[in-house]
Structure 1
């Protein structure tokens, strides 16, 4: 029996979803999931069907995810920040049979190749009584896009077991019980957001959807007991509140990028129940996390490994991970590509384990950086810039930013007709806003080590000085 059906039977009136648009009990969600199962079947969706979901965070999206999982279909949540062309391309690359979206741009982009459905068109169907059985644990459940060292997004395939054991390990470290409320401010096309749904369902807790008013308002007004945030969000919460957490709040899970020491210190001094962590899409969210009540020196690490995970450091300092939450591989046109080396996944991150078994993350082995909780790969931005007519070469580096952690800055060799404004305007159709560089500078011959290689460290230093 799946967790929604189990709690609907045992605690039907317990809340499962608290949102700005509606509030559902476990019985409500169980009934709605059954209705959606019936109507999705009339649209030809069966066990194993890959279904793209291009929807904003909402109760509708939560319900559709559970309906797809219960019927054994594969959910493919896609970023609502990407241009329509990228959304359609990603859906087709993983073999999605249909895309659920409200975006007319996506609907009209390639209707002959990717059928679309509006959620409002999904009328009530006959409730299905089928539930997720134990034998379905190894069935594919999700495909999530993640950035890789090559600069091209990769499609990571997880089974229900991957998500289940990820949630079990998290709940063993950060206690979560029936009646608790976990604030969801992260998008559901990120594994950090998706993981909250599974954690809460296992514990019989409720997911609290953040509305447009922001996390800081809901933390105070709705008495959330748990929250997950990237450092940028937590900084804004501290600035928008009086600095003190709600008395009901028992845990704030921070992740998604480097956490400034000053931010950690401020949060801890003001009484916020912080947990720092390290995770990745391929491991279905957290790998290591600090325990409740951790001392400041422990919060400056990523904590110890959680149950059902393994961590080791390679000879070159690369972090390798393994365990039950580890994904099955990347979906490609040639099939499923497994990047593991003797069951260990090379993360591309550099780190070390101290004598207490705490993980210290020391940056990327490649050049990817994190901006406001979002992975940004310079190669992707460089490729987009070089698609613009009149741009001969582009190099993107990261510079520190007090709010977002890091931000991209571009050095461009282009025709005289181009200015920062024209380049920024051209990129608007190619990239989401958070990937558009904050500044554009000229790429000079002096920035080259030779005819082919660019001195990126020199450019990074130059960008930092220009930003001061």
Structure 2
């Protein structure tokens, strides 16, 4: 059985060439712009002796160049390793060394997207190729380095997109960091749907959501609480089509407040080892934390001792540290 799929980048270039792919602080980048930048980045990787299977560590801040770099890694077989810039420099160096990654600066990432000697997009992507390394939060112990394949992210996005529909004119805002599976998940969901991704340096707020014409959001509990605290929160109810909550427990009180404000709340259960979402509430389903649908490409079982057992096409390749 073949583990290759047609490149989603090539497909968007062929079918949505002149449609917005990324909107950063009001500047639109079409899918043709994204393809050109990815090809430039691939050329830079080749010129700098970065080969398929190599691991590249960087501190992503969620800007255009870093998304391009992630896509170029996918297209060339290089492993994207996002590090949390809140850690001290010495710890970041140790983390990169632990996973045998070469570290690039933001200046190098920006340079790569403008490299003159471009390398053409691949026709196919191999679902089994290593794609990314992310570190767990370490909230229950020492942080672990998790390796995901390209297929893990692809199937995660496919399952999510079947539950949360996106149209041609929709916009999903990048509100979560790309050193976490939730941030990477937004990139893949928009890539597979051909939907535009919104990036902004403005803090998340009702006014910002309205101004950027965002239709889809992914938020953790703290972000959701801040949004609910704004007196005009209900004003986005007619614009937003999906507000996906996750990354940890969400209080039922906050969920109820969101629903009362008319927000299209989706509550998810997930984990880094499953590349993000495992189960998510259905459209128009009351967002009770006890209920949700296991998304396609995942399986869940609760054993006799109450442990939640998960498997499927999104299950990570393993811990590398």
**How would you bin the TM-score normalised by the shorter chain?**
over 0.9
Give secondary structure in 2 for the equivalent of 1:292.
coil
Q: 1:193 matched to which residue of 2? A: 183
Q: 1:282 to 1:181 in 2, by over 3 A?
A: same
Q: 1:242 matched to which residue of 2? A: 232
Query: Residue by residue, what CA displacement relative to the aligned partner does 1:174-227 show, whole Å, maximum 9, x if unpaired?
Result: 112322111111001110111011011101101111323324333111221110
Residue 150 of structure 1: how far off its partner (Å)? 6.0
Q: 2:69 matched to which residue of 1? A: 64
Which among 247, 254, 261 is matched to residue 256 of structure 1? 247
8 Å contact from structure 1 (residues 179, 204) kept in 2: no
**1:213 pairs with 2:203:** yes
Residue 59 of structure 1: how far off its partner (Å)? 0.7
Q: How does 1:287-298 map to 2 (within 5 A)?
A: 287-295=278-286, 298=287
Q: 1:168 to 1:25 in 2, by over 3 A?
A: same
Q: 1:352 matched to which residue of 2? A: none
**1:124 pairs with 2:115:** yes
Q: 2:165 matched to which residue of 1? A: 175
Q: 1:77 to 1:53 in 2, by over 3 A?
A: same
Q: 1:305 matched to which residue of 2? A: 294
8 Å contact from structure 1 (residues 71, 132) kept in 2: no
Q: 2:100 matched to which residue of 1? A: 95
Q: 1:55 matched to which residue of 2? A: 60
Question: Equivalents in 2 of 1:174, 1:120: separation in Å?
Answer: 32
Q: 1:324 to 1:209 in 2, by over 3 A?
A: same
Query: Residue by residue, what CA displacement relative to the aligned partner does 1:149-176 show, whole Å, maximum 9, x if unpaired?
Result: 7611111111111101100100111112
TM norm structure 2: 0.93
Segment drifting more, 140-149 vs 274-283:
140-149
Question: Equivalents in 2 of 1:248, 1:19: separation in Å?
Answer: 19
Q: Which has the higher contact order (CA 8 A, sep 6+)?
A: 2
Q: 1:2 matched to which residue of 2? A: 7
| 4+ runs deviating over 4 angstroms | none
Residue 269 of structure 1: how far off its partner (Å)? 0.7
Residue 17 of structure 1: how far off its partner (Å)? 0.6
Q: 2:3 matched to which residue of 1? A: none
Query: Residue by residue, what CA displacement relative to the aligned partner does 1:356-388 show, whole Å, maximum 9, x if unpaired?
Result: xxxxxxxxxxxxxxxxxxxxxxxxxxxxxxxxx
8 Å contact from structure 1 (residues 216, 241) kept in 2: no
Paired residue total: 314
Question: Equivalents in 1 of 2:184, 2:123: separation in Å?
Answer: 18
Q: 1:318 matched to which residue of 2? A: 307
Q: 1:165 matched to which residue of 2? A: 155
Q: 1:57 to 1:171 in 2, by over 3 A?
A: same
Residue 302 of structure 1: how far off its partner (Å)? 4.9
TM norm structure 1: 0.64
Question: Equivalents in 2 of 1:256, 1:265: separation in Å?
Answer: 18
CA-based RMSD: 1.7
Q: How does 1:73-92 map to 2 (within 5 A)?
A: 73-92=78-97
Please, which runs of 5 or more residues in structure 2 have no aligned partner? 1-5
Question: Equivalents in 1 of 2:224, 2:41: separation in Å?
Answer: 36
Residue 246 of structure 1: how far off its partner (Å)? 4.5
The structure number with the bigger radius of gyration is 1
Residue 55 of structure 1: how far off its partner (Å)? 2.7
